[in-house]
Structure 1
Amino acid sequence: MNVFYNVEGVGDTLIMVIRDGELENRTFETKGDLVRIYDKVSGETLGYNLFKASTYGELVDNGAVELTEDVQALIQKAFKENGFDLNISLKKQAKFVVGYVEEKVKHPNADKLNICHVNVGDERLQIVCGAPNVDQGQKVVVARVGAVMPSGLVIKEAALRGVESSGMICSAKELALPDALQEKGILVLEDTYEVGLAFPMS
């Protein structure tokens, strides 16, 4: 789940995004200050909007919100007081992690794309990557689905030329690291980095 808060741009509303859905299938259920957004065909919950969010606890982030203990407590309080069951995971998970490219094969429908299977510690992700220097046996930085890049881009599940891709293998430039090289290519990490651990962004 991705959480956003921008009091100047949106108002005092905490936006909780679980997954995308077809716009025409979206519908809403409101209880007090909390609105559940769901797919009217499947019934699947897509997210929640919490109005008057600051009345439930302190919010200091502007943009993407980290799921700290205080923010988790705020969400739990809002669900309880507005009569919704808390059916979403509030587990804090690093969005940028060290991954290990276990396998790389050519994309069947695109000459410049590769299909990589990347171990990120707790799971194995399939990621379509177009970087010319990606290869099997590398340690890399992976932006999980839901990560917000320094540019503001939100990483989503995608299908590239018919192949599912869950996440992104990042370049130093995409991570906005100091002294990032401008040429195309992913950031290849030294072997001292441990697979599955959060990658330090600063």
Structure 2
Amino acid sequence: MIFAYNKQNVGDTLMVIVKNDENKENKTERKGAVARIQTIDGETVAWNFFNVSDYVTIQGNGQVELRENDIDILNEQLKTAGYEERLVADLSPKFVVGHVKTCVEHPDSDHLHITETEVDGGNTLQIVCGAANIEAGQKVVVAKPGAMMPDGQMIWPGNLRGVDSFGMICSAKELHLPNAPEKKGILVLAADAKTGEKFEVGK
């Protein structure tokens, strides 16, 4: 689930993206200060909460973090508006230090690699990576499913040439880090970087 806020360009509206709706036709239903976005077959993919600063304090721009109490307040707004659905959010950090435990060549590609990368909570994600400098043993930055990149790209589970991938291993340029090199390749962190620790990205 992605929480996005851009008051300057969108107004005082919190956008809650719950599923990837790429290449799907959508319909919108508004009740009071809440709008639900669904696919034509009725699957909810996003919510818009209008005038959100009246009841939730939003800090930041782009992808924003909410507290558990904020989710409770948003669910009260859904209830008041007459919606039966409720938000169940994963509030864990979406950009974390990862440890590349294994890295093997993709069987159907001359440049992709399949990694098993440990992230927060001791969890391991299979991530397909196209960077030439990816190697087992590295500490890297992982954008987990539910992350929004600084350029607005949203990270969802995907499939690359027949192999499932659950996240993205990032370059400094993709993270909008100051003085990021133009040379392609993932950002390799110091060996003593703590696996699972939250990583702060640029905006």
Give yes or no for TM over 0.5.
yes
Match runs of 1:149-160 below 5 Å: 149-160=149-160
Q: Tell me the amino acid that sits aligned with residue 175 of structure 1.
A: L
Aligned residues: CA RMSD: 2.4
C-alpha displacement of 1:169: 0.6
Change in CA separation of 1:7 and 1:86 when aligned onto 2, cut-off 3 Å: same
- What CA distance in whole angstroms lies between the structure 2 residues aligned with 1:72 and 1:2? 12
C-alpha displacement of 1:30: 4.2
- What CA distance in whole angstroms lies between the structure 1 residues aligned with 2:151 and 2:20? 20
Deviation beyond 6 Å, 4+ runs, structure 1: none
Residues 22-70 of structure 1 deviation map (CA, whole Å, 9 limit, x = unaligned): 523x4455443223333454x5432212233233334343332221356
Change in CA separation of 1:86 and 1:173 when aligned onto 2, cut-off 3 Å: same
TM-score where L is the length of structure 2: 0.83
Answer yes or no: is 1:87 the counterpart of 2:86.
yes
Q: What is the aligned length?
A: 200
How many percent identity over aligned positions? 44
- Contact residue 12 and residue 51 of structure 2 kept, 8 A: yes
TM-score where L is the length of structure 1: 0.84
Map of 1:10 onto structure 2: 10
- Contact residue 68 and residue 91 of structure 2 kept, 8 A: no
Q: Please say which of residues 13-22 and 147-156 is displaced more in the overlay.
A: 147-156
- What CA distance in whole angstroms lies between the structure 1 residues aligned with 2:58 and 2:184? 38
Change in CA separation of 1:180 and 1:61 when aligned onto 2, cut-off 3 Å: closer
C-alpha displacement of 1:137: 1.7
C-alpha displacement of 1:140: 1.1
Q: Tell me the amino acid that sits aligned with residue 197 of structure 2.
A: L
Answer yes or no: is 1:124 the counterpart of 2:124.
yes
Match runs of 1:4-153 below 5 Å: 4-21=4-21, 22-24=23-25, 26-41=26-41, 43-68=42-67, 71-85=70-84, 87-122=86-121, 123-153=123-153
> Which sections of structure 2, spanning at least 5 residues, go unmatched?
none
